[in-house]
Amino acid sequence: MENKRILVLGGNGFIGAHLVEALAEAGARLRVLDRPGSLPPAPVPRVEYRYGNFSDIATVAESLVDMELVIHLISTTVPGTANRDPIADIEGNLVGSVRLLQQMCDAGVPKLLFLSSGGTVYGNTKAIPIPEDHARNPLSSYGIVKVAIENYIGMYATLFGLEALVLRVSNPYGPRQSHLGVQGVIPTFFHRILSGDKIKIWGDGASLRDYLYISDLISFIVGAINADLGGVFNVGSGQGVSAKEILSLVADISGAAPAVEYLPARGFDVKDVVLDIAKAQQAFGWSPQVSLRSGCETYWRWLKGAGAPAEPV
């Protein structure tokens, strides 16, 4: 990792900011490219920050100069917004990502790490937990675009020798994660409790999801780079938890009794998503370390601004 030249696309976001800090601490030479107006929680010393749109060919080309690895974290949509405007999803994410692959080849950048979606690419499955070789039948534009990007990465790997690592990540959460009202059950529930708003649950709240604390995701990414991994890996907790169970946990931790509104299930929401993480565990001895309760307690302390440590205790 020492002096490895890495470009982090989307390095000021929730995952990106945590990752940049960890990579800098490991000795990497980092350049961040993020959208104009985005700012890191706190600029990391010796990191080069650049600002421009992912769709700006010249900006991306200039950012690729002298890089050894690109970490692609950018997504202009989430599952709910992607379905409302699939064309914008395709233009903003698929076209931009394929253009990036071509620019990397043109610039001689040999390696890519892409964060895909463990929650949407598989669709409704026959197996729980879901292994990496399960068929991908996404129900949302978000998942369809992620699968298409994965397929183009495979094409560039086969035809042009691109070295690629694709991570199908579950639902990461933790300090600094904002509440946008469209993504993230754990931060949304806690934010609504703090503001006294009603918690809304789509469907009956029984569907299972896989939640991963941010430090566990970051430890896998850093370890994967050190191990020079390639291929496709599920990265999650390997445990399924329902929205009702999250609601009960959030209420217990906060000491609140939130009002809850159940809304009709959405057609693009898959029933159950629990990732099989055996391949990730075997890759270099990685396993999630933070329990759901401990991670949620830490998030709640951070959200209240109580000055608690930024890691679980």
Strand partners, 241: 209
In this structure, what are the phi and psi dihedrals at residue 219, rounded to the nearest 5 degrees?
-65, -35
Would you call 142 a catalytic residue per the annotation? yes
Peptide bond into 129 cis (omega under 30): yes
- Catalytic hit among 49, 122, 142, 213: 142
In sequence order, what are the residues at sequence separation of 6 or more whose Cβ sits closer than 8 angstroms to the Cβ of residue 150?
Answer: 114, 116, 121, 166, 232
At residue 123's C-alpha, the angle toward residues 158 and 79, to 5°, is 90
How far is 57 from 284, CA to CA, in rounded Å?
36
How far is 203 from 263, CA to CA, in rounded Å?
6
How far is 278 from 147, CA to CA, in rounded Å?
21
How far is 90 from 141, CA to CA, in rounded Å?
8
Count Cα atoms within 13 angstroms, Cβ side, for 278. 7
* Cα→Cα distances 271→187, 204, 274, 282, Å: 21, 11, 10, 28
The separation between the first and the last C-alpha atoms of the chain, rounded to the nearest angstrom, is 28
Which structure tokens are listed for 211? Answer: 């939640």
How far is 218 from 221, CA to CA, in rounded Å?
5
Residues with a catalytic annotation lie at 142
